[in-house]
Chains A and B, each alone.
Chain A
Amino acid sequence: MNNTASPATQQTAIVGSRSTDWQGEVMQKRIVRRYAAERRFKYLGLSAIVISSLFLAFLLFVMIGNGIKGFSTTQVAVPIDFASATGGASPEQISGEGAERALNSLDIAGVVNTAIEIEYGAEAGDIFTENSWTDVRDALLSNPDMIAGNTTVWLTAKSEIDRAAKDETDEKFEALYAKLKDAGKAQSGFNWGFLTGADGTDPARVGIWGALKGSIITMLVTLAMAFPVGVLAAVYLEEYAPSNRVTDFIEVSINNLAAVPSIIFGLLGLVVFLSWLELPRSSALVGGLVLALMTMPVIVIAGRNSIKSVPPSIREAAMGVGASPVQVVFHHVLPLALPGIMTGTIIGMARALGETAPLLMIGMRAFLTSPPQGLTDPSTVLPVQIYLWSDEVNRGFVEKTSAAIIVLLIFLLTMNAFAIYLRNRFETRW
């Protein structure tokens, strides 16, 4: 008690006697303490930044480290004598309309599997999947002249061989791969199939295009629904709506809606869009509508705030030169508010792009081996595809999951960059 009391009395004595003694021992101590506190806070903030950037760096490092392998593939050579195996089919036969049907009648699957059998015998099953022949079908469709000759085709190998080429796996497949490599029958290259294909059972043969296309269509539906509705709602509430209990209630509801967990919107979509309106389950249309419900409140809130921040003098000036209220809104207020609205839209759309839970509820988690062709086709989206692949037992899916995450991040960054570009173009300062 005495200890704490004595400096205080000393201090009052000093202050009482003359002006502040900056050189004094007590004052110096206090200054040191102040600087120390300042430094501590600075380092605390710095360490927070360092920790968060370390997390980000770690995440990116792991994702890119794992995922980059997903973009390469291993192919194994198979010599096929098309001319004799197909009994002298001509290139004209398999070009133009009905090419696929013609190829089917030539039993290309049989031709390829026989050629594999001849070349690799009992090991064929360890090197190729039962779908490997589709590589040949696709090659023949794009280059029908191949059918008249005797060529060596490179077929995508099974995931186990692909993994043996990339890192440690089973001894059996390591040995098999080494054997193929020594014989010059194995090569690695960029996995174009990953960028053009859809889901499958063998990780070496899956593609992300199906999910990416699904995401693009879903996002377009979301934007087409949520943006106009959100902006119009914001304009009406700010510029036209009388301020009374009803508008207060609407405002509170919209704010609450923005905070509702996304899974609830999934349930809503299940009841409203699938059960009542009978829209097709698993379609990008329903997915987009559900996400639009989720995105709209965010756009309304951001829209209202940025409309509110347009200076009243601009409205008054427009009115002064004789503009009608509609002209004031559409010629002056909205263009000035647009950058803010866009920021809200970016946030909402980014959230919608990463959303999984509500889409699971409406069945957008199906196994699909071809990309969607339209709004009502069954489709899946990138985050759901990542979720599905991460659940797979086959270890080859690990790198595909990371590769899909890279694709999702690139898509997200592209979308945001486009929106930021638009926002900067419309930005006006006064």
Chain B
Amino acid sequence: MMKKLSIACISVLALSACNDQASSGQGSARDYIEIVGSSTVYPFAKAVAEQFENLDPSYKSPKLESTGTGGGMELFCAGIGPNTPDIANASRRMKKSEFERCKENGVENIVEFIVGIDGIAVAQSKEGTQFSLTPAEIYEAVAANPYGKPNTALNWSDINPSFPSTKINVYGPPSTSGTRDALTELIMEVGCKTDAATKALKESDKEKFEEVCHEVRTDGAYVDTGENDNLIIQKLSANPDSLGIFGYSYLEANMDKIRGMPVAGVQPTYDAIAGGEYPGARPLYIYLKGEHVNVIPNLKEYVTEFLKAGSSDGYLKKYGLITAPDDVRTKMDIAISELSALDSAELK
């Protein structure tokens, strides 16, 4: 009885050992692509990874981990070799400090790609009175505690006398939404930083800063409208005095019923978002480790597929990605064929 059991134990050990050898026997290099990084890029990267495996029977399915942009950079810049990721997704540009760290660890040949643009639009019904907002004014209208004081503004005219005296009523994304993150980062934070005292908070009291700059009012002026952006559009048409905040792709699809509000004087048009003049837009990046190209199989093909999927007739549009402007896309095509390394002088 004891013998049987020990034989069983030993065989399990042996089995696991030989299995191990079998799978790592081909050498130390990985045969699949390892991707880490931003949770904003994650859904797009997932779609590409899923497609990539089907492109050719020899392509292995990539390993994709959502670590957040910062966490991704940390892993990406840890060095070169099979135990470090090949690609880092990022919802912001690589920081100079991250680039330096990469360099210190031997990652010198980083290739940067813009795969698309993430934008949020402020919109209203076509029958509403149009006025131009600044990020600060949007912040003052929807924040729970603008500049640290409780929000008392009821009408738009309370914020700026030149605005119509209609009630503040904003339909927006819930806290679970990625659009909400974009709202807090691109609009609210920019708005609250116009106040020098609040801006200083970021360094001294980060928690307080986030409370002041990121929290949305709960007294009914800002209404969470679920993940269903179509519902916001219906509500906007029903109530011409209200405003809606959602992903740009919905504005574009419903141009017959609603129109975008200019933010900081810029209309949310495709060109303005793609060109970066619109404040509610940010490019999405992926970073490729040049040292790994040709060591890890099919890296270039993966990036090519990502760029193709992000084009104006690619499938990533369905997942809500805004296509980068043509000149950027042409640059990306050159970047993938030449694998031109990122220059630290460009980074902040």
Contacts and interface: CB of A to CB of B under 8 A. Distances in A.
Given A130-B51, A201-B46, A330-B2, A368 B61 contact: yes
A375 B15 CA distance: 10
Contacts of B1: 335, 426
A335 B16 contact: no
Contact of B23 (A278, A282, A373): A373
Interface residues of B, number: 41
Contacts of B42: 367
Interface string B67-96: 000000000000000110000000000000
Contacts of B47: 201
A335 B82 CA distance: 45
Contacts of A331: 2
A280 interface: yes
B54 A100 contact: no
A369 B53 contact: yes
Interface in A169-225: 198, 200-201, 220-221, 223-224
B12 A369 contact: no
A281 interface: yes
Nearest to A137: B54
A278 B24 contact: no
A374 B25 CA distance: 11
A377 B23 contact: yes
Contacts, number: 93
Interface in B55-71: 56-58, 60-61, 63-66
A429 interface: no
Interface in A102-119: 104, 109
Interface string A377-398: 1100000000000000100000
Contacts of A374: 19-20, 22-24
Contacts of A201: 43, 46-47, 50
B63 A109 contact: no
Given A227-B9, A280-B82, A330-B2, 18 more contacts: A104-B57, A109-B54, A125-B318, A130-B51, A130-B315, A278-B83, A281-B83, A282-B65, A365-B65, A366-B63, A367-B64, A368-B61, A370-B61, A374-B23, A375-B23, A376-B24, A393-B176, A426-B1
14 contacts: A101-B57, A130-B51, A131-B50, A131-B51, A220-B15, A227-B9, A281-B83, A335-B2, A366-B63, A369-B50, A370-B61, A376-B20, A378-B32, A393-B227
